[in-house]
Structure formats: C-alpha cells, structure tokens
C-alpha cells in the first residue's frame, strides 16, 4: 500500500509505503512520480539504505535533491508509515 506524502511545485508526487519488516529492520519505499507527455518520470528509493531501486526520467541533480529531501524527511516518513499515512482531520 502506498500513502500520499506531498506534491512538489513541478507536480512531482511523493508517496511512501507502509512499514516493511526485512531481517528485523523497519524499511520503507519512497516513490517519486512526475507527469510528462506520454507517461511519467519515476524514481523509487528504499530506506534506511537510501538505495535507488528504480529511476527513469529524473536527472542526476534531481535524484541528488531527492536524496537530500529524504534525509531531512525520513523521520516523518517513518512516523506516517507506522500510522497508516498522514491523518488529516
């Protein structure tokens, strides 16, 4: 299951998975998707290793920016994943 997190100014939507247990560790997958003509640019990163497991259409600079974004937001992403997504009144 993927939960919405935020939409950036360039229409990149960021979603995150539920908590995934792997070898006694809590892991997450973060998905980035931006519409383009004929489809989408996509990227997916696995936490806590910050391993890019999918990448199509985003530049090296954009991926670097996403990596910095994830390092700043990982604690929130884990919190929201544990809660079943962001709970908005």
Tell me whether residue 40 is in a domain. Answer: yes
The SS3 of residue 5 is strand
Longest dimension (CA), the chain: 41
In a domain, 88, yes or no: no
What is the model's pTM?
0.92
Count of structural domains, the chain: 1
Reported as a single tens digit per residue, the pLDDT across 30-60 is 999 999 999 999 999 999 999 999 999 999 9
**pLDDT-based confidence at residue 68 (cuts at 50, 70, 90):** very high
Mean of pLDDT values over 7-33: 96
Task: Domain of residue 14: give its range.
Answer: 2-82
């Amino acid at each position: 299951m993927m939960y919405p997190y935020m939409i950036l100014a360039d229409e990149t939507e960021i979603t995150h998975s539920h908590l995934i247990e792997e070898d006694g560790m809590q892991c997450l997958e973060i998905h980035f998707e931006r519409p383009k003509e004929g489809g989408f640019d996509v990227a997916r990163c696995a936490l806590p290793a910050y391993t890019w497991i999918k990448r199509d259409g985003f530049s090296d600079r954009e991926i670097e920016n996403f990596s910095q974004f994830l390092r700043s937001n990982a604690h929130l992403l884990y919190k929201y994943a544990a809660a079943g997504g962001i709970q908005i009144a």
